[in-house]
Each structure stands twice: as C-alpha cells, then as structure tokens.
C-alpha cells in the first residue's frame, strides 16, 4: 500500500450532490486540515487529486458560475 492509498483510506469521502444513482461521471471529495482530495467514485483505488482549500474554493466558485 502506498502512502497516498493509506491517507485516502483514512479520509471521510462523500459524493458530489450532483451524482445520481445511475452511475455516470461522479466525483468524491474528502477534506483535511490543509488539503482537499478529489477522486473518481467509480475507480476509488486509482488515486486522488489533492489541492489546497483555497484552490478548491476558487474551483467551486468558478464551476458554480458556469451553469
């Protein structure tokens, strides 16, 4: 097991509120004190993307305006 897998397993992951029960393109997010982790909910063993809370806030703000 890699260090990333160990950290990934200890986090509390939750699915995007836009994820439906029929599969599709879903992401899961977990937060820690100094990082936000994002992964593909269909392939959780593949690893995750880790960004700072500021970067995640900027991304969510930008994505929310794109509707």
Question: What residues contact residue 60 under an 8 Å CB cut-off, 6+ apart?
Answer: none
Ramachandran class of 2: left when φ > 0, alpha when ψ lies in -120 to 50, beta otherwise: beta
* In contact, 29 and 12? CB cutoff 8 Å: no
Q: How far apart are CA 24 and CA 18, in angstroms?
A: 11
Please, are residues 46 and 39 in contact by the beta-carbon 8 Å criterion? yes
For 13-54, what is each residue's pLDDT tens digit? 998 776 666 666 688 999 999 999 999 888 888 889 999 999
pLDDT of 15 reads: 86
Stated pTM of the model: 0.73
């Amino acid at each position: 097991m890699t260090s990333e897998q160990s950290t990934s397993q200890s986090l509390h992951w939750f699915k995007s509120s836009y994820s439906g029960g029929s599969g599709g393109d879903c992401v899961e997010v977990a937060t820690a004190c100094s990082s936000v982790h994002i992964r593909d909910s269909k392939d959780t063993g593949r690893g995750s993307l880790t960004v700072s809370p500021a970067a995640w806030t900027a991304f969510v703000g930008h994505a929310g305006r794109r509707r």
